[in-house]
Each structure stands twice: as structure tokens, then as C-alpha cells.
Structure 1
């Protein structure tokens, strides 16, 4: 088999997974049913966690220079502003910023990075059948000209979105419910007197209309239409309806509108796959979970899936770990997806209640609490996904409750560090798909690297000493996804025992 991993879907999740594998010379093939790259997208933002993922695999490029890094959000009921939020701005102990930029731009930068590593996307190629056994998967794919052929691969990864063919072929259920029956969306060029560093949302009897500023005098407008609106509207009918509703709610005329660049409609669901793995077929991103776009969580959760799965696939395909390590992917990521789905669904239910009593509760109880700075910080941290921890998960059991400070399973903040040769770097930059031994003493770090390299391979481990950080007697092993894997007093034998347990569970 020449294709160790076959990835269906060339969105952010599939590309992030492919880049990570290519960094470690794992043969990977990426196919996508679309005839070419997307030029428009629903997703507009990279949360700080997504920024970190792209940074670690060298795929961030110039996105920060082409993005907005903060967003003022105003929520209005009629002419009255009921809530203002400032999101995306970094805070002292969490310096990463969110980036407001189209998903299509993110994908373009990621494709460039994949190409640098020798990869490319095979467009117009869709999985139509899959058969697996203990040694691999035979996937039948259909190309744009209607021809079908077979691809032999060790692993098939479904990153093919909410309507995932791979998920259906694997027989994995996707239960859930609708959150909003229908949304109409347009991208329009106009000179409107609205905040160009933010969004404005009008809420009216449980129905909403929201406008977000994009570069070059472009605005994204979406609204929940009345239930009696006919189905299958043309793009012109969608744009006319949305613009008319915008003008009615905002009081702004349409005389400066010069171009409607895109018009679409969609429905918002909350769904979670029953399983993330079925034998040699795995799911990631929207194929495994979909939620409300509130807080920009979909794209970012998918990027986290890709990074978590990637380092485990690297070790398994290299023969450095048992296949059971892949089960920890679901064990760590599915509970997180459940929390994200619950949080975004709750946000929709609270901000867009149809019941007048619930609106009263929102205005008099919920909104005053949300205005508090401490609450807004907590909301930002949740949306940023920088507070994600796998404590208590399959690779970080609850036995570490006695440990002060950061524990196994926690995300490790970025640090200024030195390599053993004295060269400076940052922790996250040094990871680049590898494991990092972090210790105050160079000799201690070197001994632990030797113990880890015997299990992981020398090219997957690097040693760093922190610069101007509080001294600690503990040594840490940081995973390729930036989470603490192991922490203890200097003891190479204990580190080796932990890796043996993780890679080759009894």
C-alpha cells in the first residue's frame, strides 16, 4: 500500500491533518468531491486555539497581517443596544489573538503549506464505497468524469463535512436536532455607517439579523426569515429579502450597495457522531460534530481534532505505538465536542428566545451578568479554546489531583526557551509536530530526551530549557498538540514507563 493515510475532504481539518503527517514523511493522499477550492465560506474566524494549531505546523503564513484581530459586537433590540462585547483582543496571560478572516483564505494558506511539503489536493474525487479488514481499507472513488477506481490505504479519515459520505459508509450514527430552521446569508459591498471593526445584531421576537464588517467595504449579512417564506429561493430572491430586512431593522438605505458577491441559505443543526472511529476509518471536524456558528467554534474544533489525531497516527503508522492509541483520540476529543455543542446551543437559546418570558429573563438577568468584565473574560477564554484540558481523560487520569499548578492534560502556555546548543526559540515554535522535554537543567533535559527517543524516535523529540521562567524541580514532556503529557521530578525511568504505558497499553 503506497497511501498510508487517505483523507477525504480538503477543508481546514483535512488540510491540517495532511500537513502534520507530511511533516513526518507519512504518505498521505487528500481528495475532495468539489471541483476546486472554495471562494466563499460561512466561517469567518480563527480563534486563538486555531491560530496556535496553524502556527505549530507552519501554516499560519501572513494570515495575521490580512485579518482583523479584534471585534466589537453590539446586540440591539429595536433601536436599543442591550449588550456590547469586545472579543478577540489578547489579554496579559493569554497573548494569542483571534483572527477575523474568511475560511477560504485560511484554506488557501494551508494549501500553500501542503504544497511546500510535496502534497496536493485531488479535486473532483469522491469516496463512494469503502471496505476494510484488519490490514487496511479499500476505498472506491469516483472522479469528475464519472470513472471509478480503487485506492488501497491503511487508514481512511473522513474530513468531508456535515454530510460526510465516509461517516455513512462506516455506519456511524449522527444524532442531533435543529437549532435554527433556516438562515439567509449574503456578502454585499456597500458604504454603510456601521462599525468596521465589528458586528451589529438586531434581535426581534426571537428572530435575528446580523451584519459583520469584512475588508474592502464588504459586509456579511445573515438573518432568520419568517417560517412562511417559500423554499428554494434564487440568489437574487435571497439578496433582495436580506437587504430589505436589513434596511427595515437598521434604518439605513440601500443606495450605496454596489454588488452582492454571494447569497446562500442554510440550516443550523447540533449533531455529534456516535463514534469517531470504526476500525480503520476515523472522523474529524464537521464529519464528527456540527454546531451553531456562535463563537466561531466549528472550524477551530476541527483544527483541534486534526492535531490530536495526527500525532497519534504518526506513532501508529511508524510502528511506535499500538493501534489502541487511536482510541484515545475519541476519548479526548468527543467530550470536548459535546461541551462545545452544549455551549453554542445554549447561546442560541438564550440570545434568540421565542418565548416572551424567556426574553424578559434574558434582558433582566442574563444580559446584566454578561456585561460584567469577569464574565466576559470567561466567555472569551471558553471561545478561544485556550482553556481546553484533557485532565481525567485516557492519557491523563485523575491521579494527579495533588499536583499544584499545571497538570498532565492541561494546555502548556507558550514560553521563551533555549535549545541545548543555546539557540533561542519559543515552545510552540519548537514543537512543529514533535514532543518537547522541558527542564531547567540541560543535563537533566538531555537524559530525559534519551529515554523518550528510545520510544518515540529521535526525530520526534527535542529538549528545551525555559528562559526567565520560575524555577521548578519538575520535568515536563509536552505533547505535539501543546498539552502536558507527563510531569514529575527528574526521573528518566518514570518517563520511559509512562511512554510504554501510553504507546503499548497492557
Structure 2
């Protein structure tokens, strides 16, 4: 058996790689393994939401992802006899430095996240939990086996998770009856710089701008009367002509595949020292481009908590908050994507009438409502995710209420650049208020024994709470754990003693 690790990460997709990067930033000992011999070469997941870019910025990945990706700002909805232009994230996203949907192939995303560092061709065979750790058996490509002991194991190993099966966690849900066709290719006759959705009485067809490994990602539902089996370019062209007409010519496919969709969620996200994240915990349709993003945010919610416990700066109670915070997010995504998918694919005559006749008439009216559009964009962008009901989110005395960040909310980037204060890993105390004198003795108590773990920032009147005085404690994942009004820091000390105890 090798020397004990803090964490064994199983699965080196975007979720596992994001978790590994965060563990690395905290100096935690870990290994990341994946049964695949190489990085993904296909695009697979392709959309990165604003909140995910924010979360990855502190690890130094956001700028490179943006540089490689395609910032789509328009959606063209091709309806019978008209085309609607829908701006993406034009409102409701003024508090993020990334007010756009970034299209980038999963292969590129994994490369940026450090996919080459994973132990490839190595799979988990068995795990057994003990009081002080987990003993795992891993098998390499040459069939040799190794025992690995880790304090914690995280399953980021996808829909067919070995970690989930070994932990005895149920994966509940259903498969959709439709068959989907996916391809990365070139398309002549398609307007560049926008995503395109063709919504017809026959079916739905989507083209998303990629750039690499091909200019376009095509997604279509195979018509019920189409032959089963592998997909080829001729079949894709036939479906395109059927849905669109003869205006588009497909060519030079880089990758084509056939797949089925599921809507399933893990009954639990944790079993003792074993955790699940990403597709191992939830899989669903690509409606809303939520899948990979939810997985990466699972990882970045869990990673700093594992690091804190492994380094002695947190208790098991902190790890309990992972499921409390992320399972509701996973369930919400499953419900949302299921409803959107059902409406978009149902053969029910009433739903088809509403989708094909009423929706085109009502959509322009709905798009005129800036309030409705802004709320929709904040939901899709995942900027609206909060943890207000988490046991680790506490509103202190005189905490601001409506219209201002509360305990459990993400730190907004207003004024612009505010999120840069929290780029350094760790907790951050923000002190806001014009001409406010913060008691030095109280601040000494707050920071004592927390050198390198807690950074204090004086914001003056430039913080997220104009007027003040207000103090807010930002967690390592960019969410407020504690918010209170005034300059009395006594209750803040109580919070820190529970969630960031000194040695």
C-alpha cells in the first residue's frame, strides 16, 4: 500500500480536474485517476456559464478559457415564417465580469484545467471504508493492481460511476425515449457569431458556434421514422433538409455520435468518507447548458471544505454542508431540464400546439419584459444560485435584507473588480462603510491564529452595501457565509470559531 493520501479523485473530466486544481491550490495531497487513456478529443459539453467562469477565475483558468472560446451573445430562433433574435445575457448580468455564454469544446476545457496531469488508464476497482479512511484498489492498463489509502474519496466518474456503485448509493430516475444525434462539423449557409435553434412541427435542430475542433456543434433528435444505427453525414444532411429546407450544407465532420438522454439523481451526495460530484451525482438533458457547469461548481464547493478538514482548519460538520448546499441545486437542475425537455419534445397534441403555434406568438411579448428576461438569464447563467438555507450561512445583527447581498449569496462584482479581492485562496472579511472606524482590538481577535487563512479588506463606500457600516465574510468559493451590520464583530467571532476554528 502506498503512503496515505488526503483525497483520491476518481474521474478526470471537468469536474474532477476542477476539484484537483483546487486541492492543489491548498497544498492537499491527492491523486486523480481516470480509466480513459487520453484526454477527451470530442467537444461533448460545450457551454461555460458566467458563474462557472467566476468560480474558476481564482484558480487562474478563466482568462485562458475565454481566450480560447467563442463568446456567443445572440440566439437565432428559427420559427415557422419568422426568425427571432434573442440576446444572451444582455441584462441581469451587470454584476459579473463574464456577461456572456462561452462556447468551448470539452477537450479544450479539460486541457486548460490540467487534464494532462491525471493518471490515465487507471481505474477504481473496489473501495472499502474504515473509521479513519478509505482503502481503494485501483487497476492500471497493464492489469497490475495497487492498494491506495485516502482519507476521502470523491467520485467524479460520470453516469456509470464505480464510486457510486461501491458506496451503495442509488441513482434514481429514467431514460428518455428519444435518440439524439451529435456532430462537430462545418456548415455552409449559416450565419456566424450566433447560436441557432430551428423549432419546427417535425422536430428540433440546434447549431452552436464552436471554432475548434470544428466551427459548429450540431444537435438533433432523430426522427421516429429514421433508421437506427450509427450516424453518417448523409443522414445528418437529410435531417437538416427536413427541418430547415435546402439552405444549409453540412461538410467535413470531425466527430459524430448517437446517444440517449437520462434524468437521474443520486439519492445521497455523501456516504461517510465518500462523496459524489458532477455526472456521478446528476445527469440530465443539455437544456440550458447546465450539466458541466453544475459539476464544476459541485467540485469547487467541496474542494475547499475537504482542504480545510485535511489541514485541520475545519471539522466534519463543514463537510456535511456539501450535500446540504449542492443537492438542492442538483434537484432544481433536474426539474428544470426535465420540464424544458418534455415541453420541447412532447408528441402530446396540446403541448405541440402550444409549442408550435402559441410560443412563436407569445415569445416576442415575453422578450420585451426586461425584468422577465433578466431573471431568466440569471437563472441560466447560474448567478442566481445561493445557499441562504445552509447551516453555514448566518445573518448577523442588523444584516442587510432586500436588494443587498445576504448570507449565502455570491459575492457580486460590483463595483467592478470587487471579486478580485477574493482571488487569493481562503476566507475574506470585507469591511464596508464611509468614514467608519473598525475596532482594532476586535479585528485582532478575528485574525488571531488565522494567518494565511483569513484576509481583511477595507472597502470604504465602494463595497456591495452603500452606506454601511456592514461587514461580510466571504467563503473560499465566493459566497457570503456571514453578513452583519454595524462594527461589533463579536458574533462574527462566534461564527469563525465554528466554521474556521483556530488551532
- Normalising by the residue count of structure 1, what TM-score does the alignment of the two structures yield? 0.88
Alignment of 1:220 onto 2:217: yes
The 5-angstrom pairing of residues 159-308 of structure 1 reads 159-179=156-176, 181-190=178-187, 192-205=188-201, 207-215=203-211, 218-227=215-224, 229-233=226-230, 237-252=231-246, 257-308=250-301
In the superposition, relative to structure 1, how do residues 323 and 16 fare at CA in structure 2: closer, same or farther (>3 Å)? Answer: same
1:427 counterpart (419, 423, 444): 419
462-471 or 483-492: which moved more? 462-471
Cα distance in 2, alignment partners of residues 164 and 453 from structure 1: 42
Tell me the residue number matched to 2:72. Answer: 70
The 2-side partners of 1:461 and 1:75 are apart by 48
For 1:398 and 1:496, the matched residues in 2 are separated by: 13
Q: TM-score with structure 2 length normalisation? A: 0.89
Partner of 1:408: helix, strand, or coil? coil
Shift of 1:223: 1.2
Shift of 1:31: 0.5
SS of the residue aligned with 1:69? strand
The residue correspondences of 1:99-498 to structure 2 (distance < 5 A) are 99-111=102-114, 120-179=117-176, 181-190=178-187, 192-205=188-201, 207-215=203-211, 218-227=215-224, 229-233=226-230, 237-252=231-246, 257-362=250-355, 363-364=357-358, 367=363, 370-374=366-370, 375-396=372-393, 403-404=400-401, 405-415=404-414, 426-428=418-420, 430-440=422-432, 444=438, 450-454=444-448, 457-466=450-459, 469=462, 470-488=466-484, 489-498=486-495
Partners of 1:69 and 1:89 within 8 A in 2? no
Alignment partner of 2:232: what SS? helix
In the aligned structure 1, how far is the partner of 2:443 from the partner of 2:399? 26
Moved more, 488-497 or 134-143: 488-497
Whether the 8 Å CA contact 1:87–1:380 is kept in 2: the answer is yes
Q: In the alignment, is the contact (CA less than 8 A) between 2:386 and 2:408 conserved in 1? A: yes
- CA-based RMSD of the aligned residues comes to 2.6
Distance apart, 1:333 and its partner CA: 0.6
| Structure 2 CA distance for aligned equivalents of residues 454 and 134 of structure 1 | 32
Q: What's the offset of the Cα at 1:137?
A: 0.6
**1:77-99 superposed Cα distances (whole Å, 9 cap, x missing partner):** 4x423644221446434442221
Structure 2 residue aligned with 1:6: 8
Count of matched residue pairs? 484
CA distance in structure 2 between the partners assigned to 1:445 and 1:165 by the alignment: 53
1:121/1:281 Cα in 2 relative to 1: closer, same or farther (>3 Å)? same
Contact between 1:184 and 1:224, CA under 8 Å: does it hold in 2? yes
- SS of 2:113 mapped into structure 1: helix
Residues 189 and 247 in structure 2, CA contact (< 8 A), matched pair in contact too: no
CA distance in 2, matches of 1:452, 1:303: 31
Spell out the pairing of 1:32-51 with structure 2 (5 A cutoff): 32-51=34-53
Q: Over residues 438-473 of structure 1, what are the superposed CA-to-partner deviations in whole Å (9 max), with x where a residue is unaligned?
A: 013797386666444446x31121111226522311
Does the residue aligned with 1:378 lie in a helix, a strand or coil? Answer: helix
Structure 1 residues 219-228 or 361-370, which shifts more? 361-370
Q: 1:492 to 1:92 in 2, by over 3 A?
A: closer
1:293 Cα deviation (Å)? 0.8
* Equivalent position of 1:87 in the other structure: 88
Task: Please give the secondary structure, in 2, of the residue aligned with 1:153.
Answer: strand
Shift of 1:124: 0.6
- CA–CA separation in structure 1 for the residues paired with 2:110 and 2:442: 38
CA-CA distance at 1:311 after TM superposition: 1.6
Aligned mates of 2:283, 2:328 — CA distance in 1: 14
Gaps of 5+ in 1: 418-424
Residue-by-residue CA offset, 1:368-425 (whole Å, 9 max, x unaligned): 55433322222111011111111122222688897422211111102569xxxxxxx7
Supply the distance in 1 between the matched residues of 2:155 and 2:320 (Cα, whole angstroms).
Answer: 16
1:305·1:333 contact (CA, 8 Å) conserved in 2? yes
Contact 1:203 1:352 in 2 (8 A): no
Distance 1:465 1:49, change over 3 A: same
Q: Contact 1:6 / 1:30 at 8 angstroms: preserved in 2?
A: yes
Partner Cα separation in structure 1 for residue 363 and residue 345 of structure 2: 12
Report if aligned partners of 1:270, 1:341 keep a CA contact under 8 Å in 2.
yes
Tell me how far apart the structure 2 counterparts of residues 64 and 446 of structure 1 sit (CA, whole Å).
41
Q: State the Cα deviation string for residues 238-279 of structure 1 (Å, max 9, x = none).
A: 33211211123222367x654110011111111111000001
User: Closer, same or farther in 2 for the Cα pair 1:88/1:40, shift >3 Å?
Assistant: farther
- CA contact under 8 A between 2:202 and 2:243: conserved in structure 1? no
